[in-house]
Structure 1
């Protein structure tokens, strides 16, 4: 998942119209015109983040069981079965990311695209790495911190391929995002975005990811991400729908990758009923959540949710990324403090922990992102 700004959604004058003719004209040079923000997309991002938080707080065992004192299935006898589906918020994030990266990358130079991504991802990420490492190093906190050397490597976002212990459990999704950005930058941003080029990119990536799965070659899996590619590609296809809802190629991209994506979600997250597993997810439930995520982004792409234009949704979107970064590990600390030390019941500890992480996310947004992101973007955008 990434925290990504919402930028022009409509074709600029002279840009390809996506009519299917393939006669795309590069967008004009000059300042980028900012279209009205798609605030419903901000709200959907927060919903996806809250789904993941529900999974981490009540839909699995592990360190969170240590924080509660018992398994979450005992804390939430009924809700834990629903919370277990919250992990699919990641797949929804990837669909949103495909949509927004295509939208924000359209018409950008490679330097501008890199500066935008780096300035959006890194400030809060660095702050979260430092904060979680510092909190876990406190004597009163029972959770083990990574070594100082590993913590330093985590600042690069390269800990996954280097095999280094992760400070943030959720950072594996950022590694998937970074690989997607690299593919999109090389294939679309560098040569210049056009409808035809984006369609070919989606078709080529879909086929290459399927071949990588068949080849069972680790390097191909690493680059092409067969398990996650369908969700990114669906999001790109939905952005093409946003540009031209009558584009049959765009709808074909979305349809094919929804079919492939639900397959991977079921394959990775379904298991036969087994009392040794934390919670049983049905294949129908998994497909339903994946489908609803696609439909929600499609509704935004088609303009059906343009009425959801409340300003607080912009705030919700700004909080999503820092909330996502800190909610899991610092959530363990908060749950233990509220539930075990203060004796607050689990049904109250859950929303109180979410609220605490949202307040922390607001502080990170105001004190870190608002101050450092513009400076970093300016520094990286300056011509050399």
Structure 2
């Protein structure tokens, strides 16, 4: 692409001898100017949520190991890796949080996280607690106590050693730690250099924390999943600054290397009794996620801009919160009376409908009311 012609300088003459007009100086838009919504990220969110859902609905615990393979065949094999959708969630989170925090003061950034996550989570946690109180807790243990349900409303039940109402809620603590430590750089205002320094420091701390003898540091560093959040941030920096900036690509390569190392632990945690997951398949799937996020960063997927993806992306959050404990309890209740495929599809449809209802009648009005409350200032005399 050829460079544009240089604007005429003051004192230059036009061909007719008249002095040339002074060049028009265009001001750059501020970094905080609104940007078009990346609906492709909304699409990736709902895909990740459905992938995680498949791992829980096509599960040997529900159908039995032998029956599971006979009923679902290749679907059963693929669903064994459905938990990897969480890894995609974490990369998207790194991208989106950095993008949404850019140009915002710290207070606005923190309020946006509470407004975005709070209303839907509180409602879904209460629904899940009610279902688990009425029905037997499917994933083992006793019915939740009132204290356990109330403690789950804090979203920090894990560091409080309180059982989560839903096994899927473990990811919320990883997300919360990311939001809190990212507030450090958001406090001073985001710039390319500050964000890159933050990512390098977090990477180094994540590597050193396990052998530091400091449990608090290890908990905050979240070393197993930090490479995914950091990768998402790097992809946003590439999107913002252009593909020619080299430093984010270098950190992405290091983050991928750390990811494949930690995958030896993660895939072991997710291996089912009597089964064995392939480390190579896990790394290949997450590498594919890296490729997709790179395509987003480079603008190659900008044409994926259908408006309905915004609604689908919003549904992914309540779908993730409701699908496991509530959905599997329903499936367990009806598994002896309904054909497996019909049961899975109907349960999935029910969870999608419930998610849309939560977005429409709980999250949107609840978030608006909570935002007004948090932004209300005291009346000064």
Whether the 8 Å CA contact 2:56–2:328 is kept in 1: the answer is no
Find the counterpart in structure 1 of residue 295 from structure 2. Answer: 299
Aligned CA-pair RMSD: 2.3
**Residues in 2 aligned to 1:78 and 1:179: alpha-carbon distance in whole angstroms:** 37
Find the counterpart in structure 1 of residue 164 from structure 2. Answer: 166
Find the counterpart in structure 2 of residue 321 from structure 1. Answer: 317
Find the counterpart in structure 2 of residue 9 from structure 1. Answer: none
Whether the 8 Å CA contact 1:59–1:279 is kept in 2: the answer is no
**Residues in 1 aligned to 2:125 and 2:65: alpha-carbon distance in whole angstroms:** 26
**Residues in 1 aligned to 2:112 and 2:33: alpha-carbon distance in whole angstroms:** 15
Q: Does 1:198 align with 2:195?
A: yes
1:99 alignment partner, one of 95, 98, 105: 95
1:377 alignment partner, one of 347, 354, 371: 371
* TM-score relative to the length of structure 1: 0.85
Whether the 8 Å CA contact 1:52–1:88 is kept in 2: the answer is yes
Matched residue SS, 1:162: coil
Whether the 8 Å CA contact 1:136–1:145 is kept in 2: the answer is yes
**Residues in 2 aligned to 1:383 and 1:145: alpha-carbon distance in whole angstroms:** 42
Whether the 8 Å CA contact 1:57–1:72 is kept in 2: the answer is no
Find the counterpart in structure 2 of residue 333 from structure 1. Answer: 329
Find the counterpart in structure 2 of residue 239 from structure 1. Answer: 236
**Residues in 2 aligned to 1:247 and 1:347: alpha-carbon distance in whole angstroms:** 48
Query: What are the residue-to-residue correspondences of 1:61-210 with 2, within 5 Å?
Result: 61=61, 64=62, 72-73=68-69, 75-138=71-134, 143=138, 144-186=142-184, 188-210=185-207
Query: What are the residue-to-residue correspondences of 1:220-239 with 2, within 5 Å?
Result: 220-239=217-236
**Residues in 2 aligned to 1:295 and 1:78: alpha-carbon distance in whole angstroms:** 25
Unaligned runs of 5+ in 2: 1-26
* TM-score relative to the length of structure 2: 0.86
1:362 alignment partner, one of 336, 341, 356: 356
Q: Say if 1:344 and 1:241 are closer, same or farther in 2 by CA, change over 3 A.
A: same
**Residues in 1 aligned to 2:165 and 2:44: alpha-carbon distance in whole angstroms:** 26
Matched residue SS, 1:356: helix
How many residues get paired?
348
Deviation by residue 1:94-143 (Cα, 9 ceiling, x = unmatched) = 0100000000011111111111100110101100111111122225x564
**Residues in 1 aligned to 2:275 and 2:78: alpha-carbon distance in whole angstroms:** 9
Q: What is the CA distance between 1:217 and its match in structure 2?
A: 3.9
Deviation by residue 1:314-362 (Cα, 9 ceiling, x = unmatched) = 111010000000000011122124432xx22112222221111111101
